[in-house]
Chains A and B, each alone.
Chain A
Amino acid sequence: MKFAIQVNEGPYQHQAADSAYQFTKAALEKGHEIFRVFFYHDGVNNATKLTTPPQDDRNIVNRWSELAAQHELDLVVCVAAAQRRGIVDEGEAKRNGKDAENIAPGFRISGLGQLVEAGIQADRLVVFGD
């Protein structure tokens, strides 16, 4: 079965980021397909590679990147939410005159159309938020 996941909350702030990850991992372990994980609102903060949690804490950002690399996941960050919160890739940096980018490996910045498409293409859309 094809699942799409929506994450509306940032890491270390609300359990939604952890719940979404655990659900995604469990679905993959059961052989389901993850069509896309869409990060919306504060959820875009899951995509900054500048995060440095203490060594004995889970690294939520790296965890997503690793899962994406293992399973070729499509991790999509909402562009409008990302611009507000300073989540930037090379293209966005150039376009907005920023001198740095911070998007973590495996993530890409795109628009809300990607969420709509995920809702249409996937069999189930599961939302995690506050």
Chain B
Amino acid sequence: MSILHTVNKSPFEKNSLDSCLSLAKEGSAVLLIEDGIFAALKGAAKEAQMKEASQKMKLYVLGPDLKARGMAEDRVIEGIEIVDYAGFVDLAASHDKVNAWV
């Protein structure tokens, strides 16, 4: 069973990303949306943790939410794929369940 996890909180505000990464099974996918996009930025304190996580699961970030926060796409850590809303829909469809870490 593959699960798409969505995280919508900044990792510098809440620990929902940590909970998600520690409980998500290998092979699942994590999509960072809304303030969750701050975990995807190069040079931030979460970079090493995200790189490590990307070895075990697929990591995605929602492009429109990056843009809404003034973050250019080249600031995203390598290994994290940028998707738009259509890509979000595709991810939801291609996994068996969608779990929101709200």
Instruction: Report which A residues bind B (CB closer than 8 A).
Output: 1, 3, 8, 15-16, 19, 22-23, 25-27, 29-30, 32, 123-130
Contacts and interface: CB of A to CB of B under 8 A. Distances in A.
Contact of B88 (A26, A123, A125): A26
7 smallest CB-CB distances across A and B, nearest first, come from A26-B85, A129-B102, A127-B100, A27-B89, A15-B34, A26-B89, A22-B85
Interface residues of B, number: 18
Nearest to A30: B89
Interface of B: 6, 8, 33-34, 64-65, 84-86, 88-90, 92-93, 97-98, 100, 102
Q: Please report whether the interface of chain B is mostly helix, strand, loop or mixed according to DSSP.
A: helix
B33 A19 contact: yes
Nearest to A125: B98
B100 A129 contact: yes
Nearest to A27: B89
Contacts of A3: 89, 92
A94 to B, nearest CB: 35
Contacts of B102: 8, 16, 127-130
Contacts of B86: 26, 29-30
Contacts of A15: 8, 34, 65
B29 to A, nearest CB: 13
A25 B92 contact: no
Contacts of B88: 23, 26
A23 B43 CA distance: 30
